[in-house]
Amino acid sequence: MTELFSLSPEAAEPHLRVAQRSLERLRTVPALAGRYTDHDKTLTLDDVAALPPLMKDDLNVALAHLQPKAERSATWLFQSGGSTGAPKVGYAPTGFYMAGVHAHWQPLDRDDVFVNVWGAGRMWGAHFLAAALADLSGCQIIALGSVTKDEYADWLAFFAAREVTAIGGTPSVLRLWFAAARAAGLQLPALRKVLWLGEAWQSQLEEDMAVVAPNARRWGMFGSTETWVVGTNTPDCPDDTFHTLPEQLVHVGPGELLDFTTLNPEMLNPVLRYQTGDAGRLVSCPCGRPGVAMQVLGRRDSVVQVRGLGLHVDDIIAQVEREPGVSRAQILITEQRGRVATVDVLLLTAQGAEVDVERLRRELLSATFTLSTGFVHDPESVQVRAVDALISNDRTGKTSNFVIREES
Ligand SMILES: [Zn+2]
């Protein structure tokens, strides 16, 4: 299939008045008005495709000016955009648009006992969004949030005793739960559903799930704090493929960059050709559900400049994670006075696994042009090492594929 929009003109165009309203609001933002001079109508999909895309910072600028308010509920402020620095703010009404999600996707039902391990607080959205979905499902909710390392064992015993049937969190956090259960030899035979959102799925999770909770299957959501949930999948779909909601218009732009336009009249963020940095394509899903689905191909902003050359972070991570015994990898780039001093590939290894880090390092150096060329005079500045924990962003709760640190 070569569709560029997730919806046909017939399905989308009656709802483009929402896009038109977003356009009119964006045109009132002094810093953005200029770029919309030649655009005053979004009546057709062609009109949408002709609009300039919005980036994260643009949306933050627009929201700072518009300060939207929900019509019939509280207006919640959530962290939006930027992995560093002060939080930028996105807005949502109570309910977090989950009624539209629940209409098409019901992973939970009244008999479920659902543990919500998305972090609550710090203006994070996912915990509350999942709670809204559970509310619509009428199940039991255990609102756990994040816990510290020493607390896993007690909570896992509690899950087993309560016959927990569902758990939801970011894949990085779920990894910790299942790895802790596996290491403790604990099983959760009643657990059937694993809900996830916030990062790409991790295949190592599947291995731990097979041991800890052999009946558990994954149920994924794709979205961001700006767009909210865009699409969902089921255990029958590939983990990178999502069925998009009719209130989300997804467009594939140049370079396979995805952009999103809301068709939901309640949406507070003026999401109009908004680019999250994710690349993707529209496909038919092997699960057999008709219509186009969105396959996410990863982030296009995963290329980091290292000594004047582009380092393809995701490629390196994928190569290293294929190594037996490596469960997860992360690249730590240390800068001194703005120049990249060292590149460390950090490995989280499976319990008892012996990984030949020196061989891996030699292979990476010879196979990666940016590393072999950029570090030709100081190859010792590229290291591979096993660590106890990868570096998480305390603010967003995410573990990204690369971290840049400034050292004085
Ligand atoms: Zn599917």
Report how far residue 391's alpha carbon sits from residue 213's, in angstroms, rounded to the nearest whole number.
27
State in Å: Cα 95 to ligand 1 middle.
Answer: 25
Domain membership of residue 392 (yes or no) is yes
Domain membership of residue 132 (yes or no) is no
Report how far residue 74's alpha carbon sits from residue 235's, in angstroms, rounded to the nearest whole number.
35
Q: Provide the pLDDT for residue 81.
A: 60
Task: Note residues around ion ligand 1 (Cβ under 5 angstroms).
Answer: 237, 285, 287, 289
State in Å: Cα 292 to ligand 1 middle.
Answer: 9
Residue 128 has pLDDT above 90, yes or no: yes
State in Å: Cα 190 to ligand 1 middle.
Answer: 25
Q: What is the pLDDT of residues 199-246, one digit of tens each?
A: 889 888 999 999 999 999 999 999 988 999 999 999 999 999 999 999
Q: What is the pLDDT of residues 54-106, one digit of tens each?
A: 987 889 899 999 999 999 999 999 987 644 456 678 999 999 999 999 999 99
Domain membership of residue 331 (yes or no) is yes
Residue 1 has pLDDT above 50, yes or no: no
- Compute CA distances 51 → 45, 194, 365, whole Å: 10, 38, 43
- Compute CA distances 277 → 82, 257, 281, whole Å: 12, 7, 13
Beta bridge partners of 293: 283
Which residue range(s) make up the domain with 312?
303-407
Domain membership of residue 133 (yes or no) is no
State in Å: Cα 221 to ligand 1 middle.
Answer: 12
Domain membership of residue 255 (yes or no) is no
State in Å: Cα 204 to ligand 1 middle.
Answer: 21
Q: What is the pLDDT of residues 186-198, one digit of tens each?
A: 999 999 999 999 8
Structure-block tokens of residue 185: 């030899």
Domain membership of residue 154 (yes or no) is no
Report how far residue 291's alpha carbon sits from residue 248's, in angstroms, rounded to the nearest whole number.
14
Domain count, the chain: 1
Structure-block tokens of residue 140: 């039991």
State in Å: Cα 238 to ligand 1 middle.
Answer: 7
Q: What is the pLDDT of residues 140-178, one digit of tens each?
A: 999 999 998 899 999 999 999 999 999 999 998 999 899
State in Å: Cα 94 to ligand 1 middle.
Answer: 29
Domain membership of residue 13 (yes or no) is no
CATH number reported for the structural domain that contains residue 308 in this entry: 3.30.300.30
Residue 256 has pLDDT above 60, yes or no: yes
Q: Provide the pLDDT for residue 396.
A: 66
State in Å: Cα 383 to ligand 1 middle.
Answer: 40
Q: What is the pLDDT of residues 323-366, one digit of tens each?
A: 888 989 999 999 888 788 999 999 999 888 889 999 999 999 98
State in Å: Cα 110 to ligand 1 middle.
Answer: 24
State in Å: Cα 239 to ligand 1 middle.
Answer: 9
Ramachandran bin of 288, using left for φ above 0, alpha for ψ from -120 to 50, beta for the remaining angles: left
Domain membership of residue 19 (yes or no) is no
State in Å: Cα 398 to ligand 1 middle.
Answer: 26
Q: What does the pLDDT average to over 4-12?
A: 96
State in Å: Cα 257 to ligand 1 middle.
Answer: 21
State in Å: Cα 235 to ligand 1 middle.
Answer: 8
State in Å: Cα 227 to ligand 1 middle.
Answer: 21
State in Å: Cα 147 to ligand 1 middle.
Answer: 33
